[in-house]
Amino acid sequence: MSLALGCVADDYTGASDLANTLTKAGLRTIQTIGVPEEGRALPEADAVVVALKSRSIPADQAVARSREAEAWLRARGAAHVMFKVCSTFDSTDAGNIGPVMDALRAEAGETIALVTPAFPETGRSVYQGNLFVGAVPLNESPLKDHPLNPMRDANLVRVLGRQSGSPVGLIDTATVARGAEAVAARLDALAAEGKGAAIADAIFDSDLEVLGRAIIDRQFSVGASGLGLGLARALVADGRGTTDAAGAAVGEPVGGASACLAGSCSQATLQQVAAAEAIMPVLRLDPARLLAGDDVVAEALAFAEERLSSGPVLIATSAPPESVRALQAAHGVDAAGHAIEAALAAIAEGLVARGVRRLVVAGGETSGAVVDRLGLTAFLLGPEIAAGVPVLRTAGRPEPMLLALKSGNFGGPDFFGRALDMMA
């Protein structure tokens, strides 16, 4: 395997989001869960996205796991490694974007890293270093109420500066408009000033193409799917991609039952769960009962068992911000989050034991818990369900499954039905 591009992603939904973008741009891409075991045979690919569940763990653990993934990618020919973070820069002042960036930049032998979470296809843009979600700054968007990392500062130069051990500069939109050489020159100038990172403005895909061209021959960058698009288009333009990769099929249909799980509490997921009630049985779990020790998992599996032969079901813990805050006040943010993730993962395992082979999961941390519990190790990319959300086919599992790992903020109100239709 000689990779054109290697990516280390800090959560599983973000990994599949990026893998989808790279595939559409013409790179044969596979997503692995963690670093593959030594000697593990993988399909031929131009790019590999190594998915880690490292966004919300202690920074030192995130750094160690990211280093392992970066080394595995370099050993397979990846000249450029991109650290994939959330398009809404999901993180806290304790990390992990800054600490992981600092470590991987050092491993790459670079003095500065270009950083941008811009992803215009989903309404993420960066202007004067400020991240916008649609028309509003990050700190006025629903991300201000995220259960694990509420985003309360839109200025990424400040946000990353609080996380990184090195000063952070800005590559503004006027510089980007002047083209790749101007961006490269600005990066070098900021490095000469002692900056270790530069937030790059980007509003349109054309800006991301400029950024991709500017850094494709460097060794390291940090971004979301938008920067992945820019890098992929630069590689394909250089003849280092495979133009027939877009929309790769997922092979033979997969039989069995279908089910959906939702742990995301994003505004988009709340709307999608509500809309799903019109097309399938929906069970809304009470996390307070779960945390009080009631066997909510058994109740959920009994609910599913009675209905799976007739069609898909949706099991959700998703709740509005005020309910989330109340539960967290009573039990703690991490304790509540981990308990709910573990419960949804146990439910997923029970669903598969009851014949589910097509599974839709809403939420990044939720997807990580579910995929790890099911012991899935790699995915092939299928068609796109919604911007940033592809159909995934398991690789290496004796009996294949189809999954959709939906980033909390992605997809329209009809997402669950649309995903199941595309998997059928």
Ligand X SMILES: Nc1ncnc2c1ncn2[C@@H]1O[C@H](COP(=O)(O)OP(=O)(O)O)[C@@H](O)[C@H]1O
Binding-site ranges for ligand X (CB under 6 A): 146-148, 263-266, 287, 317-319, 323-324, 327-328, 336-337, 340-341, 363-366, 407-408
Burial class (CB in 10 A: 0-12, 13-18, 19+), 399: exposed
CB of 364 to ligand LQPF2A5O, least distance (A): 3
- Name the residue with the smallest CB distance to ligand X: 408
Q: For residue 68, what are the CA distances in angstroms to 13, 53, 100, 209, 267?
A: 20, 13, 12, 29, 35
The listed partner (ligand X, ligand LQPF2A5O, none) that binds 258, CB under 5 to 8 Å by sort, is none
Q: Which is nearer to ligand X, 46 or 341 (CB)?
A: 341
Q: Which is nearer to ligand X, 95 or 147 (CB)?
A: 147
CB of 119 to ligand X, least distance (A): 15
By the rule CB under 6 A, 14 interacts with ligand LQPF2A5O: yes
Cis omega before residue 96 (within 30°)? Answer: yes
By the rule CB under 6 A, 11 interacts with ligand LQPF2A5O: yes
CB of 154 to ligand X, least distance (A): 18
By the rule CB under 6 A, 226 interacts with ligand LQPF2A5O: no
β-partners of residue 251 are none
| Single residue of 4, 5, 7, 17 touching ligand LQPF2A5O by CB under 6 A | 17
Between CA 388 and CA 118 the distance in angstroms is: 13
| Single residue of 3, 4, 8, 13 touching ligand LQPF2A5O by CB under 6 A | 13
By the rule CB under 6 A, 6 interacts with ligand LQPF2A5O: no
* List of residues 6+ apart from 275 with CB closer than 8 A: 413, 414, 416, 417
CB of 90 to ligand LQPF2A5O, least distance (A): 6
CB of 312 to ligand LQPF2A5O, least distance (A): 21
Residue among 125, 87, 147 at smallest CA distance from 389: 87
Between CA 227 and CA 216 the distance in angstroms is: 11
Q: For residue 319, what are the CA distances in angstroms to 160, 187, 267, 322?
A: 29, 43, 9, 8
Tokens of 389: 């959300």
By the rule CB under 6 A, 364 interacts with ligand LQPF2A5O: yes
Q: Within 13 A of 105's CA, how many CA atoms are on the CB side? A: 22
Q: Are 48 and 74 in contact (CB under 8 A)?
A: no
What counts of helices (H) and strands (E) characterise the chain? 15, 18
Ramachandran quadrant class, 186 (left: phi over 0; alpha: psi -120 to 50; beta: rest):
alpha
Q: Which is nearer to ligand X, 36 or 363 (CB)?
A: 363
CA dihedral 225, 208, 202, 74 (to 10 degrees): 60
Q: Are 379 and 393 in contact (CB under 8 A)?
A: yes
| Range in contact with ligand LQPF2A5O (rule: CB under 6 A) among 69-77, 190-198, 348-356, 403-411 | 403-411
Cα dihedral sign, 55-92-94-321: negative
- x/- site string to ligand LQPF2A5O, residues 102 to 121, per CB under 6 A? -----------------x--
The listed partner (ligand X, ligand LQPF2A5O, none) that binds 287, CB under 5 to 8 Å by sort, is ligand X
By the rule CB under 6 A, 202 interacts with ligand LQPF2A5O: no
Q: For residue 21, what are the CA distances in angstroms to 2, 34, 113, 296, 383?
A: 20, 20, 21, 37, 11
By the rule CB under 6 A, 29 interacts with ligand LQPF2A5O: no
- x/- site string to ligand LQPF2A5O, residues 80 to 99, per CB under 6 A? ------xxx-x---------
The listed partner (ligand LQPF2A5O, ligand X, none) that binds 149, CB under 5 to 8 Å by sort, is none
By the rule CB under 6 A, 337 interacts with ligand LQPF2A5O: no
Between CA 218 and CA 173 the distance in angstroms is: 21
Q: Which is nearer to ligand X, 102 or 341 (CB)?
A: 341
Between CA 353 and CA 350 the distance in angstroms is: 5
| Single residue of 224, 344, 361, 380 touching ligand LQPF2A5O by CB under 6 A | 224
By the rule CB under 6 A, 56 interacts with ligand LQPF2A5O: no
State the residues that interact with ligand LQPF2A5O by CB under 6 A.
Answer: 11, 13-14, 17, 86-88, 90, 119, 224-225, 363-364, 388, 407-409
